[in-house]
Structure 1
Amino acid sequence: MISSSFRYRSVLILAAGLLLLGCDLLESEGAGQGDPTRGDTTTVASLVQERHNEQPAGTGVVVGIVDGSDQQTLARGVTRAEGDSVDTHTVFEIGSITKTFTALALADRVEQGAVRLGAPVAASLPDSVDVPGRDGTSITLKQLVTHTAGMPRLPPNFGKEPEFESTDPYAAYSVPELYRGLEGTTLLHPPGTAYQYSNFGVGLLGHLLARRSDTTYRVLIRDRISARLGMEETWVDLPEGPNQRLATGHRPNGSAMPHWHWRESMAGAGVLRSSARDMVTYLKAQLGQAGAPSPLRRAIERSHTTLYDREGEGPIAYGWHVREQNGHTVFWHNGETGGFKSFIGFNPKQNAGVVVLSNVAQGGSTEMGFALLDTVLTNTEEDGQG
């Protein structure tokens, strides 16, 4: 007989894997200073307000939109019960959007000639670590970044650590645990033959990139991405003590959730926290608007290259999912932790994109993100900008 505590623990472990998907503020800047972007401002504001109305009290949502040379940020709600209003500088956990940073770090190292995309995973690990294969095929970096390595969503030993806490599921999972999990993994399919979304795989990729650079994941992302793009409000580590800019996460019922902590083992799968200000900066970099010359331009262009085509489900680039939306090619990713939801999507050809950050782990952010993106892209097309 399976105990209720075991079932509850199993559900929480599964949730940890699945999650790595009042105030009215409007700020605009760019060529049309003070003017609406080409998107339908009324529709955009309505979508954001609708999302906020669905959230429990004491929570907020911030949306950033880039539309050509214009950008705007809309914010509703608060950082926590009786907290400050959310704004462009409020910091949220962005969950699995972190995977696109890990993927960009890989594209950057490939562009620099420091690593080969087709390099076997085993080449970046200690000789003592046994890496699984299947049918005579070994796992490569390319397969990790495209979720085609055959690795399960989570390591087989995840959640079995004595220090495991359901409300902070990644905090106790160390690098030695990662290595043991890797050695105990049976691949779900031969590497490179099918898509299987895996926090395990991208977490491992982040660790490998940091290891090859003789540094930590935290330093790797700071030095190779956030500092080079001027993203000063993107954090890996939580600040010491209370921080008014850091939003509190919430369950869908409105109860507060503790922030998640990550060790080096899985940081690349979902560790980052960021603000709308910084995520708009990241979005603009994806659209080629990071300044001239952008220090990451070639790496970003490389990261948009299709690496695997999921039949009937759209291609996978370097971490980015790609889909056709009303005739537009959209690169996108979403994220979720115990108390936060996030979305980013963009179309490089039409120079437009959207970011959504919310401090409640409740459905709707991805759907709203696509709806906002569709509004912006449709109006851009009607204005002859596409």
Structure 2
Amino acid sequence: MSDTALQEFVEATATKFGIPGITVGIWVDGREIFASHGVTSIENPVPVDRDTLFTVGSVSKTFTVTAVMQLVAEGRIDLDAPVRTYVPELTLIDETAAATITVKQLLNHTAGLDWNLINDTGEGDEALAEFVAELAEIPLIGAPGARASYSQAGYNLLGRVIENVTGQSFEHVVRTRVLAPLGLTTTGYLRNEIMTRRFSVGHERGEDGELSIIRSWNGTRANNPGGGISSSVAEQLRWARFHLGDGTTESSETVLPAAWLSLMKQPTVELKASTLGDALGLCWFLRDVDGVRTVGHGGSAFGQFAELLLVPERDFAISVMSNASDGIPSNVAIVRWALEHYLGVIDQDPEPLPFDPSHAHELLGTYDIDAMTMTVLAGDSGLSLECKIKPEIRAAAETELPQDHPPFPFGLLPGEGDEYIITEGSFKGQRGYFSRNDSGKIIGLDLAGRLFTRA
């Protein structure tokens, strides 16, 4: 497969989805391949290249878990120990949960914590400590260990574990113990460093179809462990190659012993009807595609979208970053093209069932988390899912929040599991399922690994 073919596909995909800038890096057959298209900003256009910094959202969690596992390897953290061993100040609405949640349950999203707190604890060194002090307000979606539900708050809490164990700020620990040894010199959290380099900004498409700049770059400092890092595809490939390797640097310095690196990729909990994966390791989403195990993580933040996927048995990795609101389907299209053309691996969405109005009525209604509301609607042509940020959250926000999307059409999938797939829009291909209680009543909706409780 020629490098030209990749460049042509990236350009065609960016044009199809109306993305101002996309950049791709691939590690295959022992070499790196790059392709980029477009600009960093429609207002101040600078060409996107392999070194352009994007905010990578939840791909940041892979750096946090690596720092945690270093401390585990050193005997300073026990995965099965209660989090309170390291954060004794932790308080939750349920004392039993606060006392029993383990470090491992934070790492694989089974702690029972809701998605996140919408708060701002400032940009000072006490940001994480103050965030943890407010966790007494976070809802719990279940008992610790009962089920997986993706939690940003859980990873922010892990950041505080790292701070308390090391006596240093979270960002300092990741920079000195993870980034620096691996030569990731431009990857980081600090805006003052990012703004001196070539960086992308996010874009969103309005109801009139026109793109506009999203003025916010990333979230608050307390969200750094779960989603605050910025990186380039060149350095994401270096990061991927570390996780494909034996835990050492190019100069043979051990950053993380191979056994602990491997443990992160072992399944710990199965996932149902999730586009993210079939199972969770320690942070990594594990998925079997056409008979091949993949290991990956995606991320999104303020109109920027990132995807990092590894295929360990084939020594393959791909990083894709894009900077507009259709970034998810464009990134997925590029990843699937690369899997097929470089590895012969085919990844396809399942086909939904024809619309059945008689089954639709029990699905209708509102489902929510602290910041967002999902509403299931039905029309003549089928079902749709309306996803909106709550008005009170918008009113209280001090930074610009993403626009709401038009309702996404979706269809139910074959089987008995109340599984569904979104069929159109910027969430096309995303899968989820409806949860029932013991009496068979629908009580929740899962999307992107998060449980939205029926209102």
Q: Return the TM-score normalized by structure 1.
A: 0.77
* 1:336-376 Cα deviation digits (max 9, x unpaired): 00121100001111100100011223232441253044225
Query: For the residues of structure 1 that align with 2:32 and 2:191, how far apart are their CA atoms?
Result: 28
2:270 corresponding residue in structure 1: 309
- What residue is the counterpart of 1:62 in the other structure? 23
Q: Does residue 291 in structure 1 map to residue 250 in structure 2?
A: yes
* Counterparts of 2:341 and 2:164, CA distance in 1: 41
How big is the shift at 1:130? 5.2
1:251 matched to 2:215? The reply is no
C-alpha distance in 1 between matches for 2:62 and 2:141: 23
Q: 1:112 to 1:178 in 2, by over 3 A?
A: same
RMSD: 2.9
**Rounded Cα–Cα distance in structure 2 between residues aligned with 1:287 and 1:274:** 18
SS in structure 2 at match of 1:188: coil
Contact 1:259 1:339 survives alignment (8 Å): no
1:329 Cα deviation from its structure 2 partner = 0.2
Which residue in 2 is equivalent to 1:326? 290
Tell me which residue corresponds to 1:278: 235
| 1:227 aligns to 2:186 (yes or no) | no
Match of 1:122 among 67, 70, 84: 84
- Higher mean displacement: 65-74 or 371-380: 371-380
* Secondary structure in 2 matching 1:334: strand
Unaligned runs of 5+ in 1: 1-38, 165-169, 382-386
Aligned to 1:98: 60
**1:189: how far off?**
1.1
Structure 1 counterpart of 2:302, from 338, 341, 352: 338
Identity of aligned residues (%): 23
Match of 2:155 in 1: 202
How far apart, CA to CA, are the structure 2 residues paired with 1:106 and 1:201? 13
- Deviation of the 1:238 alpha carbon: 0.8
Instruction: Provide the rounded CA distance (Å) in 1 between the counterparts of 2:105 and 2:195.
Output: 40
Separation of aligned partners in 1, 2:272 and 2:196? 46
Kindly indicate whether the alpha-carbon contact (under 8 Å) linking 1:91 and 1:273 is maintained by their aligned counterparts in 2.
Answer: yes
Q: Please tell me whether the aligned partners of residues 75 and 86 of structure 1 are also in contact (alpha carbons under 8 angstroms).
A: yes
The code of the aligned residue for 1:378 comes to: L
What is the CA-CA distance between 1:294 and the residue it aligns to?
5.0
- 1:303-355 CA-partner distances (Å, limit 9, x unpaired): 22322233565221121000001111000111100121100001111100100
Residues 1-386 of structure 1 aligned to structure 2 (within 5 Å):
39=1, 41=3, 44-56=6-18, 59-81=20-42, 82-127=44-89, 129=91, 132-134=94-96, 138-155=100-117, 158-159=118-119, 174-175=127-128, 177-239=130-192, 242-252=195-205, 253-288=210-245, 290-291=249-250, 293=252, 295-298=254-257, 299-310=260-271, 314-362=278-326, 363-376=328-341, 378-379=343-344
1 or 2 for the larger relative contact order (CA 8 Å, sep ≥6)? 1
Distance (whole Å) between structure 2 residues aligned to residue 148 and residue 357 of structure 1: 28
**Structure with the higher strand share, 1 or 2:** 2
**Aligned-residue offset at 1:137:** 6.9
Q: 117-126 or 325-334, which moves further after superposition?
A: 117-126
Contact preservation (8 Å) 2:25, 2:237: yes
Structure 1: distance between partners of 2:93 and 2:78: 18
How many corresponding residue pairs?
332
C-alpha deviation, 1:43, in angstroms: 5.1
